[in-house]
A and B are shown apart, each in its own frame.
Chain A
């Protein structure tokens, strides 16, 4: 119960403080036009509070509570006094006096362990540089403002650098710190005291001009703190090596070890890809696809006619060939590319298919929300759900996972003559149906339909071959006894396809995402366009391939880029399901293990940078797209 209360108090405090700061800032700047004195006092107080608060935080002042409180009072008083008079001389006096007091406070109470030892030469040089900068800036701004103020400000900055930052801290005396403080205070105070006197218009513009900062600073501050600066630092850390407390420069050695590590990319068995069944099937399907494209292209007077049938055949071929390549070339980077390849293609493809199938069909919303539901489940939850699907029990025991139960059942069927006969009968019927469609397509001079049918017939033929010949499913015949026992698949342990079984989890999650977005895009296709093409005699599949697909292709692009970014950094699923064992390592998990298990921050950072380089092209594409959109407005 205590924890609940503590948590609730923490939440309320965090939210409350943020709200007060934001609303407070807005209210303060609301005051500028009408209640200038109050505004000026508050700004004076806030500025000195900020400076002394920073010094306090860095443990640079003694008696921090009293000194900061005094500085606050001086700041408020100076702000108030400045607002009550419009005499320029009085302004200058107030500015210098309060600056000297604040500088004196700084010098007098500066932490005695860090007193600066001023070197005259360095001081003179840095003041000179400050003056030069001030003059240059003044000139570059069209010489409109006062040169004295520019020199005052930049001279003071030069003094700050020369008297406080340049010297060795801790070797000076109290006198030096007081001089360093008072002169700095006097310079900045004079700059504040010579501000142009604000008229009503200027007060208004201070009030309204500040809003962009108030509205943007929280967001930009967070983005800088948690993304931009860490990104730069990670880049830097990638060149270091050693333990977290003792990092030393190592040049490119982290990157070299990434590239040379055989676990990252391993070509040793790459020739296997040419003999794999996947490659043979893939090439076959690709050839069919290109042949059909050639035939339908001839009719349209093009080299290749990319119709529905040929495109699906080519896509199927590309998937098969891709799987053959990724199964032969192993290693972390190859795994990552395989993840991107498989998840992007399957999720987009199935998402599109389901979006089209469900469009205006009965029970559309129920079907869509069931398929979309995995999006709400955490990757951890999804990994556990699928681990239970993939459970493999010893061959003698009953399988409790769905996948292996189905697999063993198939094995039993292909060993039972009755079941085999029934299945072969069904398969033969389906094959006849498909061939009938192919024949109809041939007669109607629609090579696309013929091609689609032929490609669809290939797996049926393969199934018939398996059931007639070697059998399908998990079983093993024990030679000695002639007995047949079930042989389950160790889905998560058998490399390389355990990778694919883990990708299935992400495909299961992301298909819903692709479906929802593509479904919205399909519904946004103007109905007049579709009506018109129907009146012109277009068939359903022509409408789909020639109207719907081109109309939703920008959205498909968005889905693909979003998926690539998501998949590239996949971490939770491999971490929970195999923790990168059995040849399933991916970059994000590799990075996590190097950085947080082995505490090798250098190598971890280098791997993170490799991930970042992977998303750079997509960032670039996004930027270009946004620029175009902004330009269009």
Chain B
């Protein structure tokens, strides 16, 4: 309060009660903002602190009393939860899950970004009949819930896709039975397809805004579309490619539905989210490990998020704010 007084006293008018009240009211927005910030942070903070506490401590005291755990005889802060949850299958088995998550997320980020970049370039810079129509049809699919595709896709991975031609009752195999159900490649394919409408939309927005004159002069110098794409468009689109990479990496790393459906019972191939969720499903002895498990699956996206936040924000705003 003292600093406020002095600040007001140096103002053009002497500090009256009215202006002090006004100063108090004027600060309300900032208070409300930080109040929101605290509320938004508390849940994650609580999980983080709990993950270092013993089972007894977690069950008997709130995490906000963590410094008294030792005094109450529940054991001090410990890394045991992390050791257990990352360790053997019997206690947690999350290490294997993290490896699978990485395998899923890396490939399911690289493939769609490449494919979408080709398509976005074609939609932006190659003229052909029906281009607008095809573009809108593709991008409109981004609102389709993935649930509508899960059953046929699982059938296809499990037994291939066969088309029976009506009237003559002949069956043709369109997609061979590669026995993909329960494997990581099934998740790659699914993520790639589901990501494309948004990826094409995002990359197209950016690429169509690139200056056309450079491409025109490159064309006159004899460059073909592939050269223009590879030497000019890709380097110029690095910001949006980075934005989509982060977005898609977070999406695939955090995914639960597609991995659960396509991998299902094959424990060896399950990603970390599914492992942790099944740990949560048992409501029992290992509940104290859940804190460490949830924190482990959160650390990677958080690290990506805080280090590359600028690109991430650019990515999601570019998709929605006009201009």
**A517/B261 in contact, CB under 8 A:** no
Determine whether B77 belongs to the interface, using a CB cutoff of 8 Å to chain A: no
Contacts of A462 in B (CB 8 A): none
Instruction: Say if the beta carbon of B2 comes within 8 Å of chain A.
Output: no
B204 shortest CB reach to chain A, Å: 11
Closest to A552 in B: B321
Which residues does chain B contribute within 8 Å of A312, judged by CB atoms?
A: none
Residues of chain A contacted by B114 (CB below 8 angstroms) = 18-19, 22
The answer, yes or no, to whether A352 is at the interface (CB within 8 Å) is no
Most B Cβ at <10 Å: residue of A363, A378, A513, A559: A378
Which residues 167-192 of B sit at the A interface, judged by CB distance below 8 A? 168, 170, 172-173, 175-176, 184-185, 188-190, 192
In-complex Cβ contact of B150 among A218, A357, A595 (8 A): A595
Chain B residues with CB under 8 A of A50:
none
CA–CA, A225 to B190, complex, Å?
Answer: 9
If over half of A's interface residues share one DSSP class (helix, strand or loop), that class is named, otherwise mixed; here it is: helix
Q: Which A residue's beta carbon lies closest to that of B111?
A: A18
Find chain B residues with CB under 8 A from A405 CB: 62, 64
In the assembled complex, the Cα of A591 lies from the Cα of B154 at a distance in Å of 14
Selected contact of B122 from candidates A22, A216, A555, A572, CB within 8 Å: A216
Our pick among B145, B190, B224 for the contact of A588 (Cβ within 8 Å) is: B145
* Inter-subunit contact A26/B256 (CB<8 Å): no
* Chain A 9-25 near chain B by CB (<8 Å), digits 1 or 0: 01100110011001100
State whether A11 and B107 are in contact (beta carbons under 8 Å apart), knowing that A357-B29, A615-B143 are contacts in the complex. Answer: yes
Interchain CA distance A20-B217 in the complex, whole Å: 28
- Give the size category of A's interface with B: 35 or more
Contacting residues, chain A, for B63 (C-beta < 8 A): 400
Total A-B pairs, Cβ < 8 A:
344
Whether the Cβ atoms of B121 and A371 lie closer than 8 Å is no
Q: Which of B135, B146, B304 has most chain A Cβ within 10 Å?
A: B146
Q: Which of B175, B200, B294 contacts A219 (CB 8 A)?
A: B200
For residue A219, which residues in chain B have a CB less than 8 angstroms away from its CB?
115-116, 118-119, 138, 196, 200
> Does A203 reach chain B (CB closer than 8 Å)?
no
B6 contacts the other chain (CB 8 A): no
Known: A212-B128, A244-B155. A350 touches B36 (CB 8 A): yes
- Taking a contact as CB atoms under 8 Å apart, the answer to whether A373 and B302 are in contact is yes
Do A608 and B150 form a contact, CB below 8 Å, given A377-B301, A524-B323? yes
Is there a chain A Cβ closer than 8 Å to B273's Cβ? yes
Q: Are A227 and B118 in contact (CB under 8 A)?
A: no
Does A149 make an interface contact (CB < 8 A)?
no
B136 part of interface (Cβ distance < 8 Å):
yes
Asked if A141 lies at the interface with its beta carbon under 8 angstroms from chain B, I say: no
Closest chain B CB from A42 CB (angstroms): 16
Bound-state CA distance A583–B110 (Å) is 41
Contact (Cβ within 8 A) B253 A378: yes
A169–B229 CA distance with the chains assembled, in angstroms: 48
Known: A377-B298, A517-B320. A11 touches B106 (CB 8 A): yes
Chain A min CB distance to B157 (Å): 11
A218 and B264 in contact, given A228-B141, A595-B151 (Cβ under 8 angstroms): no
**How far, in angstroms, from A423 to B308 measured CA to CA in the complex?**
45
Q: Which of A232-272 touch B at CB < 8 Å? A: 233-234, 237, 244
Please indicate the chain A residues that have their CB under 8 angstroms from the CB of B321 in the complex.
517, 520-521, 524, 555, 558
When the two chains form their complex, are residues B256 and A166 in contact, meaning their CB atoms are under 8 A apart? no
Contacts of B134 in A (CB 8 A): 216, 220
Among A334-351, those with CB < 8 Å from B are 350
Mask: chain B, 21-54; 1 = CB below 8 Å from A; 0 = not: 0000000011011101100111110110010000
B256 engages A216 (CB within 8 Å)? no
Could you name 19 residue pairs across A and B whose Cβ atoms are closer than 8 Å?
A4-B99, A10-B185, A11-B106, A215-B119, A215-B225, A227-B144, A358-B33, A367-B37, A371-B36, A373-B306, A380-B294, A380-B297, A383-B280, A388-B43, A516-B317, A559-B320, A571-B147, A575-B277, A611-B145
* Sample of 9 further A-B pairs with CB below 8 A, known A373-B40, A383-B280: A26-B226, A384-B294, A387-B280, A516-B317, A517-B316, A558-B320, A595-B150, A604-B151, A608-B148
